[in-house]
Amino acid sequence: MPVSQVTNTGIVAKWQLGEVSRFREDSRVGTAFHKSTSKRMTTNWYFNWDLCMVPDEFVNYAEELNAIRTNVAMADMSPLTKCVVSGPDACNALNYFVARDVSKVGIGQVYYTPICDAGGKVMTDALVFREEESRYRVTSDPVADWFAQNRAGFDIALEEVTDDYGILTLQGPRSRDVLEALTGQDWQSLGFSRLVKTHVGAIEVEVGRTGFTGELGYEFCVAADRADDLWDAVEAGGAKFGIIPAGEQALDIARTEAGLLISGCDYGQPRNFPSGSHCKMARNQGRLVSPYDLNYGAFVSLGKDFIGKAVLEKEQADGGGRYCLLGLEIDWRAIVTHCTDQGIAPLIGMKVDWEGRDLYLNGKECGWASSIVWSPTLKKLIAFAHVERRMATKIGDQVSVKWPVHGGSAGDIAATLVPLPFVELKRSES
């Protein structure tokens, strides 16, 4: 019996062996920076991000996170896929593919937008950068296959250019100091979400003021064959500021603290998304969301036609999404007690949970918690809460998290709804 037909053994419950893997024999597993990053790791831990493996922890994730919050860290963001949409119908096609009206994006400007399926459920979200009048670059989870499935009638070219570039991010309050030291230029005037081309030494780079940590930050986009040179240059130029490399574990916690969500980690991906994640949350079809469930209503342009519009229009008319998004602080001491009372070790994740756990209000299931993780910055166990609106919960209310314990009984762990983000966002301050 092929694995794909077996749904009750728990090994591959919902997807097909060999089919979901986009990995090919000729694929590399490292990014353009792999040679540089692998040398600097003292752990064995890697993080799978689409087809690539990036360092999860270089030396000490808590110190790496602390560098992001209080100083400056450098990190490899290359696996994020980049798809170029170009041709006479580029604007119209992209406007059909994504929820936000991208005809309004100026050349050289970036828009954030959700991308939905026909049911109005969020597949992923993306940054849309307009390079030229009829040429956009979409940075997101892999969307080229999805766009290709929906391109009928549009005169466009689609090209995935992910492997052509390395993306090195500088994050932290001193990131501008490092950038200025590296380029000899003043970067005060570059606004959030803006990009320019420049040089680091003889290396051509595109610099964008962006990031996913909540802190001031910049991203270098560099040709793949110069990536290692750029890594060395940034490391050398940043040394006097105490720059250290940060792994994915620190980045993942940083974005959670900053209240930033990830498709496939915080909510499910519709099964028809052709290049979705393998993670348990991604595959969970009971945890799909609309943009309204994530407070993304401002990014839904109902004045144009796009995939999912009909459903979202109705949803908006009915008063918005089914869920609201809040922060959650979980009583971790209760978890320790619950486990040790049963003689079991509490194994609370030092890494962000990509599976999710059910949430209850007064004994009734009311949604789920996602991205559960210990925040070394706050010394608290934090998460996102996706709570049904009809429960009319508010900040400060108590809910409980169903906490499974292997080899013991599950706990009902008290948690408090709190505002997002968990840390103050500084990325768009001057």
Residues contributing to the site for another protein (CB under 8 A) = 1-3, 6, 9-12, 15-21, 23-25, 27-30, 34-35, 38-39, 41-49, 53, 56, 59-60, 248, 278-280, 283, 332-333, 335-336, 339-340, 343-351, 354, 374, 376, 379, 381, 406-407
Shortest reach from residue 127's CB to another protein, in Å = 21
Shortest reach from residue 64's CB to another protein, in Å = 12
In degrees and rounded to multiples of 5, residue 84 shows phi and psi of -95, 125
10 or 184, CB closer to another protein?
10
Secondary structure (H, E, C), 251-274: HHHHHHHCCCCCECCCECCCCCCC
Shortest reach from residue 93's CB to another protein, in Å = 31
| Alpha-carbon gap, residue 253 to 398, rounded angstroms | 23
Shortest reach from residue 43's CB to another protein, in Å = 6
45 or 192, CB closer to another protein?
45
285 or 428, CB closer to another protein?
285
150 or 284, CB closer to another protein?
284
172: left (phi over 0), alpha (psi -120 to 50) or beta: left
Shortest reach from residue 238's CB to another protein, in Å = 22
Shortest reach from residue 312's CB to another protein, in Å = 30
Shortest reach from residue 414's CB to another protein, in Å = 15
The set of residues, in sequence order, having a beta carbon less than 8 Å from that of 230 and lying 6+ positions away, is 166, 168, 200, 203, 205, 220, 222
320: left (phi over 0), alpha (psi -120 to 50) or beta: left
56 or 215, CB closer to another protein?
56
In degrees and rounded to multiples of 5, residue 128 shows phi and psi of -105, 115
- Is residue 223 packed enough to be buried (19+ CB in 10 Å), middle (13-18) or exposed (0-12)? middle
- Is residue 133 packed enough to be buried (19+ CB in 10 Å), middle (13-18) or exposed (0-12)? exposed
6 or 236, CB closer to another protein?
6
Identity (one letter) of the amino acid at 228? D
Tokens encoding 49: 């991000």
21 or 428, CB closer to another protein?
21
